[in-house]
Amino acid sequence: MIDFKKEIASMISECTQINNEELETYIEIPPDDNMGDYAFPCFKLARTLKKAPPIIANEIKENIKINNKIIDKMEIVGGYLNFYINKDTLIYNVLHEMESKNSKYGKSNIGEGKNIVIDYSAPNIAKPFHIGHLRSTVIGGALYNIYKYLGYNVIGINHLGDYGTQFGKMIEGYKLWGQEYNLNENPIEKLTDIYVRINNLCKEDEDVLNECRNNFKKLEEGDEYCTELWKRFKELSLKEFQKIYDLLGSSFDSWNGESFYTDKMPEVIEKIKASGRLEESEGAKIVNLENSGISTPIIIEKSNGSSTYATRDLAAILYRARTYNFDKALYVTSYEQNLHFKQVFETAKLLGLDEKYTNALEHVAFGMILLKTGKMSTREGNVIKLEDLLNEAITRAKAIIEEKNPNLDDKDEIAKKIGIGAVIFNDLSNNRIKDEIFDWDTILNFQGETGPYIQYIYVRTKSIMDSAKEIPSAKEININELKDSEAMEIIKLLYHFEDILLNVINKNEPSILSRYLINLAQAYSSYYNSNKILVEDIEKRNTRIYLTYMVGNVLKIGAKLLGIEMPNKM
């Protein structure tokens, strides 16, 4: 498919003698179609050419050699030079790209030979998998899918929270009250109750807190009782977590959690020590990061000799660099961990790794999901469990189906796709850095800019294709039938699909794709309301069927990349 932005940059480069790759980065898509398909902001060249933007725009327009098969016309608006793409060429490119790629439309090999590590989900063992973990799971999952679709070799890692002082607390709580609980039934609920109780006791009694810390130290040293209890907590938790991953359709390439790095931390400590940056402070071992603009030191080893979350993350970086030779390593966690990752990424420079690895570390931060009453906390016991949310979403979706289409086949399966899709899309339709106030009515709203809406539009396209019985060939399409404003809006959206995916990975922002799918669904809805699809006129019929097919195909591809399944009926 022709890259129009690249072609325009090349034309401008010829008459300005400025590097076309640089020029390509300046080219914009105007907010209004009436202002052209692409706009070149001439003020970007004002300093280089030492001229006013309107003069630059006029000189480029006068001297540029236009390929009329690509550009229909140019207009100067202020300091912008606006380009209008040849409609025939644009439509032809989209039609034939769709026919050649079909279900792989928008796919590319841009990432070929590059390794991307994505660390996401990472629930804590022996704690409920609550809606706070939803964001990491679905944002990370969407990025995993999109990077892979663009040709990258992606390694998805579920860095389980299966180590740390909280296990010292859990062990102590179980010692005190374990006989009161049957962990074979609702184990997470029981373990959470123990955790809340032991936390409350720790607040009241410093000796109990110290005993909890000693329990974790014993666990690190391989104490048999502590280790067996920890293994049991982990086994029970993973079994419960898998139910949620099955509902969400999530899978991972590695389940190496924090405990995996137990025997790898001594090397980290030795390397930092060899760098001359390891200091002792109140019995603990730290690295002072003030010279890097970070006022809070990073703790490498606690005063009682036990490890820290940060040390395990550093060991993970060392291991992943050696094992996966990554070109980029993403950490999908809440913005509450901004300081932690600044500290870890800065300290990673002391591990003797090539800059390729330390420069490739990136924290993909996201906002919190808050209750109307404030922040959730396992310690306080005020969390909404993700399994409950997902099951409630499915139940509500089924109730709507029963009301609107009671004779629908496979209601349970369709309700699952709609309910889970609603939850995932609700999360991914928001800019990831924003906090969300959790509200049942909002998250399960089946009207407006929601997951069920794009599913509904897809089902409409599927119904039309089922009635049409076959997809016409691109050769049978009369391009002139697609030049009206509503059809052209769809064609332009379809053309930009791959650019949208590239923009997602450039910013690690799945909401860009979510917004695109809403725009495409709305554009098709407008077209459908103005144009009967299955008409008698064979040219019109074939053209409208093919446009419908293309929209349905891209909606399905895009939704799948977000982790959403499309029902065939609703």
Instruction: Give mean pLDDT, residues 59-64.
Output: 93
Q: Are residues 238 and 333 in the same domain?
A: yes
Q: Please state the pTM of the whole predicted model.
A: 0.93
Say if residue 396 is in the same domain as residue 366: no
CA-wise closest residue to 101 among 512, 518, 497, 535 = 497
Mean pLDDT of 446-461: 90
Q: Is the pLDDT of residue 380 over 60?
A: no
pLDDT band at 305; cut points 50, 70, 90 = confident
pLDDT tier for residue 375 given thresholds of 50, 70 and 90 = low
Is 410 part of any domain? yes
Share of the chain above pLDDT 90, in %: 82
Residues 154 and 259 both lie in one domain: yes
* Claim to verify: residue 72 and residue 149 sit in the same structural domain: no
What is the average per-residue pLDDT within 213-227?
92
Handedness of CA 310, 314, 315, 321 (dihedral sign): positive
Inside any domain, residue 294:
no
Residue range 513-548, pLDDT digits in tens? 999 999 999 999 999 999 999 999 999 999 999 999
Residue 383 has pLDDT above 90, yes or no: no
pLDDT at residue 382 is higher than 80: no
Same domain, 253 and 361: yes
Per-residue pLDDT band at 338 (split at 50, 70, 90): very high
- For residue 35, count other CB atoms closer than 10 A to its CB: 16
Q: Is the model's pLDDT at 379 over the cut of 60?
A: no
Higher pLDDT, 15 or 318: 318
For 34-49, give the DSSP string: GG-SEEEEGGGGHHHH
Asked if 391 and 459 sit in the same domain, the reply is yes
Tens digit of pLDDT for each residue in 95-134? 999 999 999 999 999 999 999 999 999 999 888 887 878 9
CA–CA dist 517, 184 (Å, integer)? 44
Answer yes or no: is 100 within a domain: no
Question: Has residue 320 been placed in a domain?
Answer: yes
Q: What percent of the chain has pLDDT over 70?
A: 96
Which CATH number covers residue 138?
3.40.50.620
Q: For residue 62, what are the domain limits? A: 4-85
Do residue 48 and residue 167 come from a single domain?
Answer: no
Orientation of helix 411-428 relative to helix 386-404, angle to 10°: 120
Query: Which pLDDT belongs to residue 552?
Result: 98
Same domain? 326 vs 247:
yes
Average pLDDT value over all residues in the chain: 93
Q: Could you tell me if residue 182 is inside a domain?
A: yes
pLDDT for position 524: 98
**Based on the domain organization, do 416 and 316 belong to the same domain?**
no
Question: Pairing between strand 328-334 and 115-119?
Answer: parallel
Average pLDDT of 361-382? 74
Number of domains in the chain: 3
Would the pLDDT of 376 be above 60?
no
Q: 501 phi and psi, to 5 degrees?
A: -65, -40
Mean pLDDT in residue range 402-423: 93
Whole-number pLDDT of residue 370: 77
Same domain for 492 and 554? yes
Q: What are the CA-CA distances from residue 367 to residues 40, 56, 133, 345, 561 (Å)?
A: 35, 43, 11, 20, 22
Residue 231 lies in a domain: yes
CATH number at residue 505: 1.10.730.10
